[in-house]
Amino acid sequence: MVAGQGDKLVIAIDVMGGDHGPRVTVPGAALALKREGEKRRLHFLLHGDEAQIQAELNRHPDLKAASTIVHTDQFITMDEKPAQAIRRKGTSLFNAITSVKTKDARAIVSAGNTGALMAMSRMILKMMAEDLERPAIACGWPNSNGMGTVLDVGANVTSDAHQLIEFAIMGAAFHRAVRGVENPKIGILNVGSEDVKGHEDVREAHRLLREGGLGLNYYGFVEGDDLFSGKVDVVVTDGFTGNIALKTAEGAARFIKGLLKDAFKSSPFAMLGGLLASAALKVMAKRVDPGASNGGPLLGLKGIVIKSHGGAEAWAFSNAVSVAISLAASSYEDDIKKALANLSKAMPVVQSSALPKSNAVADAGQAVEETKVS
Amino acid sequence: MVAGQGDKLVIAIDVMGGDHGPRVTVPGAALALKREGEKRRLHFLLHGDEAQIQAELNRHPDLKAASTIVHTDQFITMDEKPAQAIRRKGTSLFNAITSVKTKDARAIVSAGNTGALMAMSRMILKMMAEDLERPAIACGWPNSNGMGTVLDVGANVTSDAHQLIEFAIMGAAFHRAVRGVENPKIGILNVGSEDVKGHEDVREAHRLLREGGLGLNYYGFVEGDDLFSGKVDVVVTDGFTGNIALKTAEGAARFIKGLLKDAFKSSPFAMLGGLLASAALKVMAKRVDPGASNGGPLLGLKGIVIKSHGGAEAWAFSNAVSVAISLAASSYEDDIKKALANLSKAMPVVQSSALPKSNAVADAGQAVEETKVS
């Protein structure tokens, strides 16, 4: 237990996590403080090696004044097996998550090993509802209206109807808290928009959400291209499809960027054209920069856990910290609890267990395996 | 039965199919004849309204000399229910598919109603192997090496391990025939590359393909961004994931195109830049133009059936006709038959039935429903 911070909003940072450690996480936290500190009184618990953190903090006096260092010399590496990582108490990640459990912090942000973060969060914080097996990972997704939310993007390899509805509830609460949309429009990702399309689980979830009674703004089925159309704010899908859609979109963006680069190199005219348009192209590139949407919550835990891309630079990491602050300052957890309670009234767990739990076997082997978010 | 065409390669065209009908399909066939006619002696069976076809043919004397019109005044509309469409004998689509069954043509190309094409092809031509329930749809996918093949992109909502292996066999035979790669490298789409990743069906298919014995060049698991990387030539996945990945990629391309357009309009400098680079940008746009990869085979049928995008213009339709010609001129059907025979030796159908057939229920309702390919 560290010293209480009164009415301040306290965020725990796993300083040692990620490809770059303190060199990125400390300046990232400083950037977030600068941006969010005007709206709220913030304090940071910086979990990691004191000497390394101090060296970075000396360049960021504002953050230094608003931080407490929680020293440890144990860290989890990016390629450490989650099963092994969870056994090592006292690592910076372990301590950071524990500070949420002990209510010393309202949220924790880590750019570290996703599998370890997932396994350790489940172990320390526990799931919000008994039938939730593992947290879903949500991510920001640029669309015609600005930024949408997509989940699950990789935590669960298959998801039954009950889980898809839980994703809808959690995704809507997340989107409301972070993007400020009061009643986000929700769609289920499918291969067509008619009621008969898709497999049993999406159709069952669709039928139940159509019936209403959960207080959700349900639009209906959406297709792959609607991830960008902005037709809905929150797109719900199983973790297998969501992960593949996310990586397909990232692959498409990278491929087109490469073609564009080649095009601008293909002739002197094109090169001059590229130079003239470069400012405008940079603005555009920022719209599809994964750093802009960095900060994916692990949804369904008793506590706020935010995963940053492992390779994030300071600006991207600061966006993940902002997501943590927005969630921590909102009624997001209560929203989810209330909606899940409504769900168990409308669709008791006994009924949900009667639905095909197709993922039971497949998930078992993955529970503590690394899931890449990007 | 129409008059025999000797040693000519005969292609049946459903002239009335698609959003534009004869206005696109006739000039499309003429373009394909111009491109492919030097290599092979071609003949076309043009199924549809004689007067409309004649009017178009008068502008294309070469095609006129290499065609026979098979008149009918019955057509299937784009929004007609497949269940209704299959009952109507004598439509241009019905006649075109039947001409493959009667061996008057080697292949059929249609830009019409996908659901009707699918249902009618199954009814008239039948599947190649008894455990194949419905054809898989393959599509071309631009990647760093040129053009890859992805399947299934929408015919089957779920696919068990046995079906995934059948897709691998059929996809490899298709890629060899159409892209001229002797021993195409195959990958299974998954959420990670390690053996333990993904659900039971992909892991089982992965294990069996790893064992070898099917004469396939199996690489292993690939991820969403590998659809573009060119790491493999053929990417195998279930129809649900494949359809969503395809539409996600199309959505990403359209979204970025929109941003790019806005960027070039955002200032006079950017506008001038866009003008200077316009020739290079057009070359680039052609690389990701869906028309370049138009022509998706319905794989697994006793006969060659090619689906063109409904909205295809003449150039795109001509590419679908070229795919039909390449397949018809190749040993593709024998390749698949041989490989499927190897598969039933290595993995008898009795064993395959023991695998979870998770799609049985879900597919039932979709069998004759429209599946949009894009």
CATH number assigned to the domain comprising residue B151: 3.40.718.10
Q: Give me the residue from B200, B251, B266 closest to A362, CB to CB.
A: B200
* A266: chain B residues, CB-CB within 8 Å: 280, 283
DSSP B21: T
What pLDDT, on a 0 to 100 scale, did the predictor assign at position A357?
39
Q: Where are the alpha helices (DSSP H) in chain B?
A: 22-36, 50-57, 61-65, 82-85, 92-101, 114-125, 161-179, 200-211, 226-229, 239-265, 268-276, 278-288, 314-328, 332-346, 349-354, 359-364
Judge whether A373 and A296 are in contact, CB under 8 Å: yes
| Whole-number Å distance between alpha carbons of A118 and A301 | 10
pLDDT of residue B228: 95
Considering only CB atoms, which chain A residues are within 8 Å of B237?
244
pLDDT of residue B341: 82
Chain B: nearest CA to A223, how far in angstroms? 7
Strand blocks (E) in A52-178: 67-71, 107-110, 136-143, 146-151
The pLDDT score that the predictor gives to residue A78 is 85
Helix (H), strand (E) at residue A47: strand A42-48
Are B151 and B165 spatial neighbours (Cβ–Cβ below 8 Å)? Answer: no
Question: What's the average model confidence in pLDDT over B267-292?
Answer: 82
- Supply the pLDDT for residue B223: 95
B2, part of any domain? no
The whole-number pLDDT of residue B358 equals 40
Nearest CB neighbour to A225, from listed B240, B254, B278 = B254
| For residues B255-261, average pLDDT | 87
**Residue A2: predicted pLDDT:** 53
Q: How far is B158 from chain A (nearest CA, A)?
A: 7
Q: Which residues contact B23 (CB under 8 A, 6 or more apart)?
A: B56
pLDDT tier, B373 (very low <50, low <70, confident <90, very high otherwise): very low
Read off the pLDDT of each residue in B231-251 and give the average, rounded to a whole number.
Answer: 95
Mean pLDDT score, B112-141:
89
Q: Are A140 and A325 in contact (CB under 8 A)?
A: no
Task: Give A108-160 pLDDT, tens digit per residue.
Answer: 999 998 889 999 999 999 998 776 778 899 999 999 999 999 999 976 778 88
Q: How far is CA A180 from the centre of its chain?
A: 16
Structure tokens at A55: 């060296």
Q: What 3-state DSSP class applies to A4?
A: coil
Give domain status of residue A66, yes or no.
no
Task: Inform me whether the C-beta atom of residue B73 falls under 8 Å from chain A C-beta atoms.
Answer: no
CB B325 within 8 A of CB B40: yes
Subunit contact A197:B262, Cβ cutoff 8 A = no
Return the higher-pLDDT residue of A70 and B133: A70
> CA B352 from chain center: how many Å?
26
- Amino acid letter for position A344: S
Asked if B44 contacts B37 with a C-beta cutoff of 8 angstroms, the reply is no
Closest residue on chain B to A247 (Cα): B224
| Chain A residue whose CA is closest to B274 | A273
Q: How confident is the model at residue B205 (pLDDT cuts 50, 70, 90)?
A: very high
The verdict on A361 touching B (C-beta cutoff 8 Å) is yes
Residues contacting residue B155 through CB under 8 Å, at least 6 positions apart: B118, B134, B135, B136, B137, B239, B298, B371
- Sites in chain A below the pLDDT cut of 70: 1-4, 131, 155, 347-374
**Cβ <8 Å between B192 and A241:** no
**Would you tell me which residues 152-181 of chain B have a C-beta closer than 8 angstroms to some C-beta of chain A?**
154, 157-158
Q: What is the domain range of residue A257?
A: 139-291+333-374
- B12's enclosing H/E stretch is strand B9-14
Residue A32 domain-assigned (yes or no): no
CB B67 within 8 A of CB B95: no
| Whole-number Cα distances in Å, A233 to A147, A269, B245 | 8, 41, 19
Chain A residues within 8 A of B195 when measuring between CB atoms: none
Choose the closest CB to B249 out of A142, A252, A284.
Answer: A252
Residue A92 in any domain: the answer is no
Contacts for B79-84: CB closer than 8 Å, 24+ residues apart: B79/B113, B80/B113, B80/B116, B81/B115, B81/B368, B82/B113, B82/B115, B82/B116, B82/B118, B82/B119, B82/B120, B82/B368, B82/B369, B82/B370, B83/B119, B83/B368
The answer to whether A366 contacts B253, with C-beta atoms less than 8 Å apart, is no
Residue A148 lies in a domain: yes
Residue A95: partners with Cβ closer than 8 Å, 6 or more residues away? A47, A70, A72
Between CA A286 and CA A306, with CA A35 as vertex, the angle to 5 degrees is: 75
Q: Chain A window 239-268: which residues touch B at a Cβ cutoff of 8 Å?
A: 239-241, 243-256, 258-260, 262-264, 266-267
Predicted confidence (pLDDT) at residue B277 exceeds the cutoff of 90: no
Rounded Cα gap, residues B257 and A347, in angstroms? 43
Name the token pair of A89: 């108490």
Scan residues 123-152 of A and list those with Cβ closer than 8 Å to B: 142-144
Work out how many domains chain B is built from and give that number: 1
Provide φ and ψ at B301, rounded to 5°. Answer: -90, 160
Higher-confidence residue of B156 and A295: namely: A295
Interface test with B, best of A247, A261, A269, A370 (most B CBs within 10 A): A247
A340 vs B140, which has greater pLDDT? B140
- Provide φ and ψ at A38, rounded to 5°: -70, -30
Tell me the β-bridge partners of B213: none
3-state secondary structure of B137: strand
Interface test with B, best of A191, A232, A241 (most B CBs within 10 A): A191
Pairing state of beta strands A304-307 and A146-151? unpaired
Q: Which of B142, B196, B273 sits opposite A273 (nearest CB)?
A: B273
A129-138 residues labelled b (16+ CB within 10 A) or e (exposed) = bebbbbbbbb
* Residue B285 or residue A254, greater confidence: A254
Is B78 contained in some domain? Answer: no
In a domain, B183, yes or no: yes
Residue B210 has pLDDT above 80, yes or no: yes
Residues, chain A: 374
d(CA A171, CA A150): 8
Cis peptide preceding A195, ω within 30 of 0: no
Centre a 10 Å sphere on the Cβ of residue A271 and count the other Cβ atoms it contains: 16
CA gap A69, A92 in Å, rounded: 11
Q: Quick one: closest CA in A to B267, which residue? A: A280
**Between β-strands A146-151 and B42-48, what pairing exists: parallel, antiparallel or unpaired?**
unpaired
A79 touches chain B (CB under 8 A): no
Residue with tokens 């618990």: A45
Q: What is the DSSP letter of B127?
A: B
d(CA B222, CA A244): 10
Q: Mean pLDDT across the stretch B149-173?
A: 89
Q: What residues contact residue B261 under an 8 Å CB cut-off, 6+ apart?
A: none
Residue B182 CA from chain centroid, whole number = 20
CA B289 to chain centre: 16
Transcribe A15-28 into DSSP letters. TT-TTTTHHHHHHH
Q: Residue B251: list chain A partners with CB under 8 A.
A: 224-229, 249
Lowest-confidence pick of A96-100, B4-8, B49-53: B4-8
Name the β-bridge partners of B43.
B10
Residue B72 domain flag = no
What is the edge-to-edge ordering of all strands in the sheet holding B217-222? B67-71, B42-48, B9-14, B107-110, B304-307, B296-299, B136-143, B146-151, B234-236, B185-189, B217-222
Helix or strand run (H / E) with residue B299? strand B296-299
Distance from CA of A358 to the nearest CA of B (A): 9
Structure confidence at residue A3 (pLDDT): 52
